[in-house]
Chain A
Amino acid sequence: MSEKRVVVVGGGLAGLASVMKLTELGVKVDLISLTPVKRSHSVCAQGGINSCNDQTRQLGDDEWKHLDDTVYGGDFLNHQPPVKEMAYWAPKVIELMDRLGVPFNRTGEGFIDRRRFGGTLYKRTAFAGATTGQQLLYALDEQVRRQETEGMVRKFEFWDFLGPIKDEEGRCRGITAQDMVSMEIRAFPADAVVVATGGCGLIYGRSTMSVFCTGSAASRCFQAGAKYANGEFIQVHPTAIPGADKLRLMSESARGEGGRVWVPRQAQDPRAPRDIAESDRYYFLEERYPEYGNLVPRDIATREIFDICVNEGLSVEDDRMCVYLDLTHIPKAELDRKLGGILEIYEKFQGVDPRVEPMKIFPAVHYSMGGLWADYVKSADGGLEPGAPQNHMTSIEGLYAIGECDYHYHGANRLGANSLLSCIFTGLFTGPSIVNYIENQKQGHAETPPTLLESARQAQVDRHESLLTGNPDSDENPYLIHQELGDLMTRVATVVRKNDQLTDAMAKVEELHRRAMKVSLSDTGGWTNQNVIFAKSLQDMFPLAKCLLKGALQRDECRGAHYKPEFQKPSLTAEDPAERRQQAEAWCDEFEANNERYLKSTIATWDAQTMSPDLTYEDVDTSLIPPRPRLYGLVGADIIEQVWKARAKAKAEGRQLAPT
Chain B
Amino acid sequence: MIALEPTIKNRPEFFKVRVKRQDGPGKEPYWELHKIKYESEMNVISVLQRIAAQATNLDGKRVNPVAWDCGCLEEVCGSCTMVINGRVRQSCSALVDRLLAENPDEIVLEPMTKFPVIRDLMVDRQRLFEGLEKVKAWVPVDSYYNMGPGERQLRETQERNYPLSQCMSCGCCLEACPQYNKIELTQQQGESDEAFDARKKAAFDQAFVGPHAISQAMLFNNHPTGKALSPERLDALSGPGGITACGNAQNCVAVCPKEIPLTTSIARAGRATTVHAVKKWFDK
Contacts of B52 in A (CB 8 A): 479, 522, 530-531
Are A146's CB and B73's CB within 8 A?
no
Are B132's CB and A145's CB within 8 A?
yes
Q: How far is the CB of B90 from chain A (nearest CB, A)?
A: 9
The contact size tier of chain B is 35 or more
Task: Say whether B165 faces chain A, with CB atoms less than 8 Å apart.
Answer: yes
Task: Say whether A430 faces chain B, with CB atoms less than 8 Å apart.
Answer: no
Indicate with 1 or 0, residue by residue over A202-239, a CB within 8 angstroms of chain B CB atoms.
00000000111000000000000000000000000000
In the complex, the chain A residue whose C-beta lies closest to that of B169 is A38
A56–B110 Cα gap in the complex (Å)? Answer: 52
What DSSP secondary structure best describes chain B's contact surface? loop
In the complex, the chain A residue whose C-beta lies closest to that of B90 is A348
Task: Say whether A7 faces chain B, with CB atoms less than 8 Å apart.
Answer: no
Known contacts A146-B140, A244-B41, A523-B65; is-contact A108 B73 (Cβ 8 Å):
no
Task: Say whether B49 faces chain A, with CB atoms less than 8 Å apart.
Answer: yes
Task: Say whether A477 faces chain B, with CB atoms less than 8 Å apart.
Answer: yes
Contacts of A211 in B (CB 8 A): 70-71, 73
Contacts of B70 in A (CB 8 A): 211
Are B225's CB and A101's CB within 8 A?
yes
Contacts of A349 in B (CB 8 A): 43, 74, 93, 95
Are B155's CB and A249's CB within 8 A?
no
Task: Say whether B173 faces chain A, with CB atoms less than 8 Å apart.
Answer: no
A367–B279 Cα gap in the complex (Å)? Answer: 53
Contacts of B62 in A (CB 8 A): 522
Contacts of A244 in B (CB 8 A): 39-43, 46
Are A210's CB and B71's CB within 8 A?
yes
A285–B216 Cα gap in the complex (Å)? Answer: 43
Are A98's CB and B150's CB within 8 A?
yes
Contacts of A149 in B (CB 8 A): 133
Contacts of B149 in A (CB 8 A): 95, 98-99, 112
Q: How many residues of A contact B (CB 8 A)?
A: 69
Contacting chain B: which of A58-66, A135-143, A439-447? A135-143
User: Among A100, A112, A245, A527, which residue has its beta carbon within 8 angstroms of that of B46?
Assistant: A245
Which B residues from 95 to 123 make CB contacts under 8 A with A? Answer: 95, 118-119, 122
Are A95's CB and B150's CB within 8 A?
yes
Are A38's CB and B129's CB within 8 A?
yes
User: Among B64, B75, B141, which residue has its beta carbon within 8 angstroms of that of A100?
Assistant: B141
Task: Say whether A288 faces chain B, with CB atoms less than 8 Å apart.
Answer: no
Contacting chain B: which of A126-134, A490-498, A574-582, A648-656? A126-134
Q: How far is the CB of A300 from chain B (nearest CB, A)?
A: 25
A211–B48 Cα gap in the complex (Å)? Answer: 13
Contacting chain B: which of A39-47, A160-168, A259-267, A388-396? A39-47
Q: How far is the CB of B223 from chain A (nearest CB, A)?
A: 5
Contacts of A108 in B (CB 8 A): 155
User: Among B46, B76, B154, B220, which residue has its beta carbon within 8 angstroms of that of A110?
Assistant: B154
Beyond A100-B139, A104-B158, A345-B75, list 19 extra A-B contacts (CB 8 Å). A24-B144, A36-B169, A92-B146, A95-B147, A96-B147, A99-B139, A99-B147, A101-B220, A101-B226, A129-B162, A145-B133, A146-B140, A243-B43, A244-B39, A245-B42, A480-B53, A483-B53, A522-B65, A530-B65
- Which residues in B have some Cβ–Cβ distance to A below 8 Å? 23-24, 39-43, 45-46, 49, 52-53, 55, 62-65, 67, 69-79, 92-93, 95, 118-119, 122, 125, 129, 132-133, 136-141, 143-144, 146-150, 152-155, 157-159, 161-162, 165-166, 168-169, 220, 223, 225-226
- Which residues in A have some Cβ–Cβ distance to B below 8 Å? 20-21, 24, 35-36, 38-41, 43-44, 92, 95-96, 98-101, 103-112, 128-129, 131, 134-135, 138-139, 142-143, 145-146, 148-149, 181, 210-212, 243-246, 248-249, 337, 341, 345, 348-349, 351, 428, 477, 479-480, 483, 522-523, 525, 527-528, 530-531
